[in-house]
Amino acid sequence: MAAEQSATDYIVHHLTHAGLVPKTGAIFNFSNMHLDTFWVALALGFLFAGLFGYVARKATSGVPGRLQNFVELIVEMVDTQIKDAFHGKSRVIGPLALTIFVWVFLMNAMDFLPVDLLPAIAQAIGYYGFGHDPHHVYLRVVPTADVNQTFALSLSVLIIIIGFSIKAKGLLGWFKELLTAPFHAEGLGMQIVLGPVNLAFQIIELLAKPISLSLRLFGNMYAGELIFILIALLPWWINWVLGTPWAIFHILVVTLQAFVFMMLTIVYLSMAVEDH
């Protein structure tokens, strides 16, 4: 494909999401919905749930197989991080942290597939199955390189943070904390004066968490995806020389970003259940 298109067209094509084609005269325009992000992320979510569910059902107390060993290693790693960072008690935090780590890792790991593999398959299906022009068939396979996906994940974490805080302190206790922290004051008068300031700082802190979570993950994965696309434009021997070391290094990036997203979620939830 790189040989048939200019470098600019090739890059633009690979960075264009698959969306709904807008209908003439339609009231609502859903062309900005990134269907590739949605379906790839959903499929990987089912893959995670199915694989771990299968291992849980087939788990044995005897000599475990390689797959059970691998899953237990991941579960123990997550459990260790929770014990070190989360200071409250919750039955939700374990499954939540495990889901975040594995799901984000799987979405990041789609970057390891050859750049043209799945897009070429999508183009072939679009052309032979539906008669579409291959140049107008798009597919991006790394959901976390889409800022919409990373923001959706981080906003979900924000909702859970607020829920944990309300559960631990009560609704009135949470509202009181919004108005009395981080600046504490003696006397009703000073509390009223500092209330708006505290509320502003609390809102900034709440908003900073999902923004930092989402942009950190998106920035790293988008950069990685773009580098793989640029390497694919080079001659095959340079592609191999540069692509292999970058893929090996990217294993660390993919794993680290999933781990960081999980750890920050655990830390934020731990802060949510603590009293100032």
Distance between CA atoms of 276 and 254, rounded to whole angstroms? 35
Beta carbons of 73 and 63 less than 8 angstroms apart: no
Q: Which two tokens stand for residue 95?
A: 């499954």
Rounded to whole angstroms, the Cα distance separating 195 from 184 reads: 9
Place of tokens 């540069």: 242
CA of residue 8 relative to chain centroid, distance = 28
Terminal C-alpha separation, the chain:
58
**Is 90 in the active site?**
no
> Has 220 been annotated as catalytic?
yes
The pair of three-digit structure tokens given for residue 237, joined into one six-digit string: 């021997």
- Active site (annotated) includes residue 165: no
Q: Which of 90, 220, 239, 270 is catalytic?
A: 220
Catalytic-role residue among 90, 212, 214, 270: 212
The single residue of 148, 156, 216, 239 carrying the catalytic annotation is: 216
d(C-alpha 256, C-alpha 241), whole Å: 24
Nearest 10 degrees: Cα torsion 103, 106, 107, 113:
-170
Q: Looking at the annotation, which residues are catalytic? A: 212, 216, 220
